Amino acid sequence: MDRFYFDHNATTPVSAEVLAAYTEALRELCGNASSIHAFGQQARQRLEEARGRIARLVGAEAKQVVFTSGGTEANNLAVLGVVRASRRGRRHVITTEIEHPAVLASCAALEREGVDVTYLPVNGAGLVDPDEVRRALRPETVLISVMHANNEIGVIQPIEEIAGIARQADVVFHSDGVQAAGRLALDGVGGCVDLYAISGHKFHAPKGIGALMLRGSVAIEPLMYGGHQERDRRPGTVNVPAAVAMGVAAEAAVRDLESEQARLAGLRDRLESMILDRIPGTGVNGGGAPRLANTTNIYFDGVNAEALLIALDLKGFAVSTGSACSSGAVEPSHVLTALGLSRDRARASLRFSLGRANTVEQVEALVEALVEAVAHLRRLSPVAVHV
């Protein structure tokens, strides 16, 4: 059976050029980048080259880039690190209801430590209102964390504007850029945000490597202890081959950005219009705001999305519902309910996230499979679908 992958917001395959760089680095760079000798220096040099490439991706300076194990660690380090480093007696954090669990669960951990957290709502399109950020500010606010692009619906937040509010209030601003990296031009990011988290495997680097862009003026408490790597902010021997691979992937992302995103936007629009034309009782979640070119989230009224996902996978089409619990079962999405969707509609929604290998033919085959599977599911449990 042919298998087609429409889940690039979960992860992306390693590209050929990244694989070549990765294997070369694994083979050639045997030193520990912290070692004083020539082996170490060689690894260190390649690590710093990679750091420079990551810095260029996000418009920052190389010394502002801290390598981590991935996006989750980068977000944890940002949120927990900034708040725990603050010496104030009362501390307050502003974030949103639609953040990734890496940020939400970090905030929940801070709440257990006595920190106040404000979770801002979003409008029906999934956008945060910057005025709400301004209104939520308190004298004790130490961090604002608003994601750049949402993983489930792709909506892009006005982070430049929110960064301006944070700067004016002298509050540290962090943004989760995991889904934005490789999909949006980020050269302006370094100039406006204080911290920015990215993850390599979302743009064709291997799993297990990510980075936090961190302005030098921001005090941060490390999550782990044990070594002086990454300027005392992230101990542990750096995974140099993965960092090298991520550097190559970052450069490729910058190079290919415009043409690839335009191509994906065309495919995504085609997918959306075909579904909306051919399947009644469907609609785009969060369609009324600027979105990532590769992402769409669609409801199929009267259909259990969990069953639809499995039915599609059994036909060879990999899609997602956005969030899963620890056992791997599907949970009603907190993002979709934050948009104001009913639980029923949230449960009837699927995420399609396109990427490099997807073609027009694949999209057309996906739509055929969807038409058939949705009709089958609706026949089994006929719920009135108003068209």
- Listed in order, strand segments (DSSP E) in the chain are 4-5, 65-68, 92-96, 116-120, 141-145, 172-176, 195-199, 210-214, 282-284, 295-300, 317-318, 349-353
**CA distances (Å), origin 157, targets 13, 80, 151, 161, 290:** 26, 22, 12, 9, 8
- How many binding residues for another protein (CB under 8 A)? 19
Is residue 112 involved in binding another protein (CB under 8 A)?
no
Is residue 328 involved in binding another protein (CB under 8 A)?
yes
Is residue 376 involved in binding another protein (CB under 8 A)?
yes
List 142, 184, 267, 330, residue binding another protein (CB under 8 A): 330
CA-CA distance, 47 to 35, in Å (whole number)? 13
Which residue is catalytic, options 30, 107, 192, 325? 325
CA-CA distance, 128 to 91, in Å (whole number)? 22
- Binding segment toward another protein, per CB under 8 A, in 122-130, 185-193, 254-262, 376-384: 376-384
Which of 127, 311 has the CB closer to another protein? 311
Is residue 30 involved in binding another protein (CB under 8 A)?
no
* Token pair for 50: 């990679």
Instruction: Tell me the closest approach of the beta carbon of residue 107 to another protein, in angstroms.
Output: 19
CA angle 328, 209, 15 (to 5 degrees): 90
Which of 3, 27 has the CB closer to another protein? 3
Using left for φ > 0, alpha for ψ between -120 and 50, and beta otherwise, residue 290 falls in beta
Q: Cβ-count burial of 137 within 10 angstroms (0-12 exposed, 13-18 middle, 19+ buried)? A: middle
Using left for φ > 0, alpha for ψ between -120 and 50, and beta otherwise, residue 24 falls in alpha
Helices (H), 215-315: 229-232, 240-278, 305-314
Is residue 131 involved in binding another protein (CB under 8 A)?
no
Is residue 342 involved in binding another protein (CB under 8 A)?
no
Which of 20, 314 has the CB closer to another protein? 314
Which of 273, 381 has the CB closer to another protein? 381
Is residue 331 involved in binding another protein (CB under 8 A)?
yes
Is residue 231 involved in binding another protein (CB under 8 A)?
no
Using an 8 Å Cβ cutoff, are 204 and 12 in contact?
A: yes
Strand-strand pairing, 141-145 and 92-96: parallel
List 16, 38, 329, 387, residue binding another protein (CB under 8 A): 329
Instruction: Tell me the closest approach of the beta carbon of residue 352 to another protein, in angstroms.
Output: 19
- State yes or no: is 192 an active-site residue: no
What string marks each residue from 284 to 323 as x (binds another protein by CB under 8 A) or -? --------------------x-xxx-xx-xx---------
Is residue 325 involved in binding another protein (CB under 8 A)?
yes
Which of 30, 314 has the CB closer to another protein? 314
CA-CA distance, 116 to 122, in Å (whole number)? 19
Binding residues for another protein, per CB under 8 A?
304, 306-308, 310-311, 313-314, 325-331, 376-377, 380-381
Active site residues: 325
